Amino acid sequence: MRNIVLARIDDRLIHGQIVTSWCKLKNADVILIADEKLPQDTFQQRLLKAAAPPGITVEIRDLAGSAEYLKQEDAGQKPIILLTKTPQMMEALIAQGVQLGSINLGGMGAKAGRSQLNKNISASPEEIASFDRLMQSGIEIYYQLVPAERSTNLRNILKGEK
């Protein structure tokens, strides 16, 4: 099992918060983006690789490829940031045997089918169901945009909603 220092759900993937704060705080060497569509989209791949900070490798893989990559042994224990756009992808990775203790919820933008949970998070009913399953399986999901902000447990955010 490789060394995942941060597992984050953020549909903007690599952007200012990742580049200017998380990568530095976590000393990440690798950003792994797990997504079913991106591996076929060469434009987006080039863009995401170009956006990463100097010295950081970007891996873009589909579900099976990501799970396989994460489950490999790494003697060097290189710190990895795992990014997905949705909670379902995190669930699928766990189903494939990837171990995660906690998940950072970074940003899910408003769009059709999603309702707003808090300032920066909107989710569809399917996504909320996925959050629930993840939390029931004992995984802590916390909302935190950047390290300088306080983190909030997703349970409290969902409670506020109901």
Partner 1 sequence: MTLTQALILGLLYYLANSPWPFGGLGNYAIIYRPMVLGLVVGFILGDPVTGTIIGATINLMYIGFISAGGSMPADMSLAGILGTALAISQGLEMNAALAVAVPLGLLGALVWVGKLTFNTVFVRLADRYVEEGKPEKVWIANILLPQMVLFLITAVPCFLAAYYGAGAIADLIASLGGNFLRILSIIGGMLPAVGIGMMLLAIYKGPARIFFFLGFLAAAFLGLKTLPLALIFLGITLLYIELKEGKDEGQAVEDVPIAETGALKASKLLEPKDVRSAWWKWMYYFQSAYNYERMQGIGFLHSMSPVLSRLYKDDPEEMKAAMRRHVEFFNTENATGSAVIGLAAAMEEQKKLGADLTDEAFTSIKTGLMGPLAGVGDTIWQAVMIPLMIVLFLGPAREGNIGAPILYSALFFALYYAYGYWLLKLGYNKGSEAILNLMENKAINKVIVGAGIMGAAVMGGLVSQYVNVKTAIQFPMGGEKVFSLQTDFFDALVPGLLSLLLTLGAYALLKRGWKAQYVILLVIAIAVIGGLVGIF
Instruction: Using CB under 8 A, list all residues that contact partner 1.
Output: 12-21, 24-25, 43-44, 46-55, 107, 109-111, 116, 118-120, 145-150
Q: Which is nearer to partner 1, 45 or 96 (CB)?
A: 45
Rounded Cα distance between 54 and 133, Å, is 37
Shorter beta-carbon distance to partner 1: residue 10 or 91: 10
Chain centroid to CA 161: how far?
Answer: 22
Closest approach of partner 1 to the CB of residue 95, in Å: 27
In the complex, least distance from residue 50 CB atom to partner 1, rounded to whole angstroms: 4
Q: Do residues 85 and 9 make contact, with C-beta atoms less than 8 angstroms apart?
A: yes
Using only the alpha carbons of the chain, give its radius of gyration.
Answer: 15
Structure tokens at 55: 């010295």
The Cα diameter of the chain in Å comes to: 46
Task: In angstroms, give the least distance from the CB of 128 to partner 1.
Answer: 18
125-136 and 154-161 helices, crossing angle to 10°: 140
Task: Report the distance separating Cα 109 and Cα 54, nearest Å.
Answer: 27
Q: How far is the CB of 11 from partner 1 (least distance, A)?
A: 8
Determine which one of 15, 24, 46, 119 is catalytic. Answer: 15
Say whether 123 is catalytic: no
Catalytic residue IDs? 15
